[in-house]
Amino acid sequence: MTQLGQNCLHAQQTKHTSVIVIMADQLRADVLGKGFTPNIDALQKDAVTFNRAYCAAPLCAPSRASFFTGLYPNRTGSMINPWEKDDEVYGNTKAGIANLYGLMDAEWDSYHVGKQHFFTEEKMDKNPSTKTKWITQETYSKWMKEQGKPKPGGKMYKDVAPELVSSTHTQLRSYSTPATGLYKEGINYFLDHYLANEAIKAIQNRDTKKPLLLNAMFLAPHPPFSIPEPYYSKYGLKDFDLPENVGEWYPGQSPLQMYNLTGFIGSRYNREQWGQIWAKYLGLVKLLDDEVGRVIVALKQAGIYEQSTILFTADHGEMLGSHSLWQKMCMYEESARVPFLLKLPQSVQPAIKVSNEPISLVDFLPTVLDLNAIKHPGRMDGISLLPLIEGKTINRKAIFLQFDGNGSLGSSQRAVVMGNYKLTVDMFKDEFYVELYDLSKDFQEKENLAFNQSFSQKTNELLLVLKEHMKLSGDRVVLPAELMKKFLKNYKYGIQKSDKVQ
């Protein structure tokens, strides 16, 4: 535990408090605060906002593994969604690694309600001895079968895309597209409404002799965009401003994204089509906000809101047409940056309301452990955010992100965020593509500075930091010694505008 955490913030409270995690799935951080999320925005007023929070991996399973363990994917062993049997070992967190549930569920009344993509070798959620109550998407599927109702989605919301398997060969796999449609069964049978109902039951039926640990894992606004009324028709094109980079494929962005689901499907749609899709996405965001609002009301009615630690976040973002890309699985801000709103117990008075320091989802576990005076289980990649909350500085040079394939071990990406700069290395088999952006001046990442000789020193500096991290974390990938020389020789001035895919 940090000395500051022991002597400052923890001194303001004397006992364990309830911990509530509300996690959305595939939520763009830039849609908050614009009228679509009044309940989440109300929570933000009571919270410390971290404007530059990043996932550790822009994919469900590895992101959640890092969130719950405080470790980067190279250390957890969870690097992909384990859909391909030959590669499923890379989707599970290694046995013996401590996590939020195991560290807290002995003293907290622990519930997991919602999407369960924290896969572990021990099959933690299936263990009869677990102290956590698990209510998951499987529970919902059984309930829907009993009700005789079809779940949202279906074949019309999917299409095939090529996917590299075991980093050696390609197969076709079915994934969600941006197709939109009305879910006719209504909100009462929609997954996120069911999950909010179950989260409320957990709050009402909790063991009042213990603090509550509630992990409410919503699916919205993850596709399929099979959405009930009134949310399906809630918004039109006049209700929002479409970001400038939607429907644009910039000259300096990686062409290797075309080997990935992101570009293979995303590049099919133009800006006008994306605008129609955005309207439906924002309706799903409003649905999410309403369900989060119901959970917040239940916490207040139970009398535990004020003294709870509450985090609202997402596992990753959503491109939704930015850079002409779809879903996540890339390092652009829309995919990699997440909301991170941390409401502290009333007894803890933060010195700040907003932080612009780059942080990672791996930082939550050490922070919540320090807040509750729980000894750290060992070395973690994440650090406690208590110094930042106290208005102090933190001693961290950079944060890191990685991607190793979607449903199998495939194309890879590595990224480092250091100060205002982000550097990404995109890889497909033996090809490499480098991108560098100054986020303080180019937050939509339109100009790849890796081609600008004036930034060659900065590019090499970040590459060195990234390589060192990859080495220390036992990365399976090794970047070549003369990466930039080969990259600039191959691409010269980038992918020209005349070559863009539209």
- Which tens digit of pLDDT belongs to each residue from 467-492? 999 999 999 999 999 999 999 999 97
| Predicted local distance difference test score (pLDDT) of residue 377 | 94
- The size of the chain, in residues, is 502
Q: Which residues of the chain have pLDDT under 70?
A: 1-14, 493-502
Give, to the nearest 10 degrees, the angle between helix 191-205 and helix 271-301.
20
β-bridge mates for residue 424, sequence order: 415, 435
Asked, for residue 411, whether it belongs to a domain, the answer is: no
Cα distance between the two ends of the chain: 52
| Predicted local distance difference test score (pLDDT) of residue 2 | 40
- Which tens digit of pLDDT belongs to each residue from 282-315? 999 999 999 999 999 999 999 999 999 999 999 9
Quote the CA–CA distance of 174 and 162 in Å, as a whole number: 9
Asked, for residue 163, whether it belongs to a domain, the answer is: yes
Asked, for residue 120, whether it belongs to a domain, the answer is: yes
Q: Which domain holds residue 292?
A: 3-397
Residue 71 tokens read as 């470790």
| Predicted local distance difference test score (pLDDT) of residue 495 | 55
- The SS3 assignment for 8 reads helix
Phi and psi torsions of 377, nearest 5°: -75, -10
Asked, for residue 157, whether it belongs to a domain, the answer is: yes
State pTM to two decimals: 0.95
Distance set, CA 444 to CA 96, 335, 437 (Å): 40, 12, 9
Asked, for residue 501, whether it belongs to a domain, the answer is: no
In the chain, the largest separation of any two C-alpha atoms, in whole Å, equals: 66
| Predicted local distance difference test score (pLDDT) of residue 38 | 98
Asked, for residue 154, whether it belongs to a domain, the answer is: yes
User: CATH no. for residue 283?
Assistant: 3.40.720.10
DSSP 87: G
Asked, for residue 464, whether it belongs to a domain, the answer is: no
| Predicted local distance difference test score (pLDDT) of residue 129 | 86
- Is there a contact between 118 and 94 (Cβ–Cβ < 8 Å)? no
Asked, for residue 412, whether it belongs to a domain, the answer is: no
DSSP letter string, 89-138 = GGGSBPTT---HHHHHTTTSEEEEEE-----BTT-GGG-TT-SSEEEEHH
Please give the tally of structural domains in the chain: 1
